[in-house]
Chains A and B, each alone.
Chain A
Amino acid sequence: DQQVKQNSPSLSVQEGRISILNCDYTNSMFDYFLWYKKYPAEGPTFLISISSIKDKNEDGRFTVFLNKSAKHLSLHIVPSQPGDSAVYFCAREASGSARQLTFGSGTQLTVLP
């Protein structure tokens, strides 16, 4: 029962353009969704989170949108930079779960110069 799904294993965009990474989920019992970025041979790094009571959260070049009716969230990166090339994971934090995270399988983003 995969509760968090990232259907695109890879995405390539040109530098300066928008990157949109998508994530779908299968139930609604959660407090937060979090996005992590991971470079090879390093641990995941927290990017941004969104509460279940919000539709949007923004932090600099990163914006996360939550569509509760469609059970879908997306991460927008504008403008994309070559240093953004990494694997991006969405993760769900369930209510009352001691902050256990359920991760999607990740999307490899490549930003082309």
Chain B
Amino acid sequence: DAGITQSPRHKVTETGTPVTLRCHQTENHRYMYWYRQDPGHGLRLIHYSYGVKDTDKGEVSDGYSVSRSKTEDFLLTLESATSSQTSVYFCAISDGGSGNTIYFGEGSWLTVV
């Protein structure tokens, strides 16, 4: 198994509060991603990073920001959580080779009440 750790694994927060999810990898992979999974939508890309301090938006980036100050850490921040951001969040990592395995973390369950 790839060395990916997501934290926290479960969180309940109130509407309007900031939330940060952390993804930590021990594989030294260049690319890191944040996806969310919702019923009927599969997984959708929020943001991704192609190197330290290099990030870009994905399909559903509104309301989210990211940061990557070290190769091993990729942070996802909800500046002001809303109920529509209740979801399961998955971090993924890749070495960049097309067709190679992209590894996913075990997920972070976020509930915004």
- List residues of A whose CB falls within 8 A of some B CB: 4, 6, 31-32, 34, 36, 41-46, 49, 51, 89, 91, 93, 98-106
| Residues A105 and B42 in contact, CB atoms below 8 Å apart | yes
Task: Given A51-B99, A93-B99, A99-B31, answer yes or no on A106-B42 (Cβ-Cβ < 8 Å).
Answer: yes
User: How many B residues touch A, CB cutoff 8 Å?
Assistant: 28
Interface SS of chain B: helix, strand, loop or mixed? strand
Count of A-B residue pairs with CB < 8 Å: 64
Q: Which residues of B contact A102 (CB under 8 A)?
A: 45, 59
B27 at the interface (CB under 8 A from A): no
Q: Which residues of A contact B105 (CB under 8 A)?
A: 43
- List residues of B whose CB falls within 8 A of some A CB: 4, 31, 33, 35, 40-45, 48, 50, 56, 58-59, 90, 92, 94, 96, 98-99, 101-107
| Residues B48 and A42 in contact, CB atoms below 8 Å apart | no
Q: Which residues of B contact A100 (CB under 8 A)?
A: 33, 45, 48, 58
